[in-house]
A and B are shown apart, each in its own frame.
Chain A
Amino acid sequence: EAGVVQSPRYKIIEKKQPVAFWCNPISGHNTLYWYLQNLGQGPELLIRYENEEAVDDSQLPKDRFSAERLKGVDSTLKIQPAELGDSAVYLCASSQGTKNIQYFGAGTRLSVL
Chain B
Amino acid sequence: AQSVTQPDIHITVSEGASLELRCNYSYGATPYLFWYVQSPGQGLQLLLKYFSGDTLVQGIKGFEAEFKRSQSSFNLRKPSVHWSDAAEYFCAVGAGAGNMLTFGGGTRLMVKP
Contact = CB atoms under 8 A, between A and B. Distances in A.
Q: Do A and B come from one complex?
A: yes
Interface of A: 4, 6, 31, 33, 40-45, 48, 50, 55-56, 91, 93, 95, 97-107, 109
Nearest to A45: B100
Contacts, number: 67
B97 interface: yes
Interface string B69-113: 000000000000000000000101011111111011110000000
A45 B95 CA distance: 14
Contacts of B34: 101-102
A106 B38 CA distance: 9
B52 to A, nearest CB: 10
Contacts of A33: 100
**Residue with the highest number of chain A CB atoms closer than 10 Å, among B34, B43, B51, B97:** B43
Contact of A43 (B44, B94, B95, B97): B44
For chain B, the bracket of interface size reads 20 to 34
Given A104-B43, A105-B43, A107-B43, A98 B103 contact: no
A41 B92 CA distance: 12
A109 B45 CA distance: 17
Contact of B106 (A41, A48, A56): A41
B101 A41 contact: no
B58 to A, nearest CB: 15
A71 B33 CA distance: 31
